[in-house]
Amino acid sequence: MIDRIPLGDILFLDIETVPQSREFNTLPEEAQELWALKTKYQRKDEYTPEEFYERAGIWAEFGIIVCISVGFFLQTQDGRTFRVRSFTGTEDELLREFSGLLDSHFAERRHLLCAHNGKEFDFPYLARRMIIQGIPIPDKLKMFGKKPWEIPHLDTMELWKFGDYKHYTSLRLLAYILGIPSPKEDLDGSKIRSVYYEKGDIGRIAKYCELDVITTAQVFLRLRNEELLAEDEIIYINVQ
């Protein structure tokens, strides 16, 4: 039961991804061919491989992670706080820093990772990109040989499904129906690529990512029928 899990044992997270290259025609010829084959059934006859490339960030084989944001609850004498920080930089740098956080502060058996649609996207994407970058996968992202109840992952979308595996609900919709302030008012996922490659505004992307983490935590609280976070309970950690 999720209401029995200590909030301090959960690391909430979200990732933002973009295509590996700014333009399709800058990819090596073999990569272009493999992209065309990979997306053949999704594209059908509606898009050329080049037109469809703006969506390449969805696939770990053709995308990169440009931001990882995390949040965790901390109980203090004055009450609870929710601390949020982001990892940016090169993909190698941010993955190593994130892995270091897991190994140093969230490595115990009781610790869990939580994301919205994390089991289908964030968790496997992180593991795949770590393999591609030659980074050892931290225990919290290792799935091999584990029984379902041994995997330390929570997914707010899965929790909302209540066993209905056909049901997809976006974080924005879930926040709306649960009375949670709307996340990502400044951006939406379709704009991340242009903000990254055309404007180079990683700070704006990090803020967008952090809002998702906060909203995921708020949804989790509502699923436990607990009081939502107040604005003064949220602390942003700026790491130089």
| CA pair distance 170, 183, nearest whole angstrom | 11
Give the model confidence (pLDDT) of 37-61 as tens digits: 999 999 888 899 999 999 999 999 9
| CA pair distance 240, 97, nearest whole angstrom | 12
**Which structure tokens are listed for 140?**
């919290």
Longest dimension (CA), the chain: 61
Q: Which residues of 2-21 are buried (b: 16+ CB within 10 A; e: fewer)?
A: eeeeebeebbbbbbbbbbbb
Is the predicted pLDDT of residue 136 greater than 90, yes or no?
Answer: yes
> What does residue 32 show for φ and ψ, rounded to 5 degrees?
-60, -45
Mean pLDDT over 183-210 rounds to: 86
Query: What is the DSSP track for 209-240?
Result: HHHHHHHHHHHHHHHTT-PPPPGGGEEE----
Share of the chain above pLDDT 90, in %: 83
Superfamily of domain 2-20+62-236: Ribonuclease H-like superfamily/Ribonuclease H (3.30.420.10)
- Please report the sign of the dihedral spanned by the C-alpha atoms of residue 90, residue 198, residue 51, residue 121: positive
- What pTM did the predictor assign? 0.94
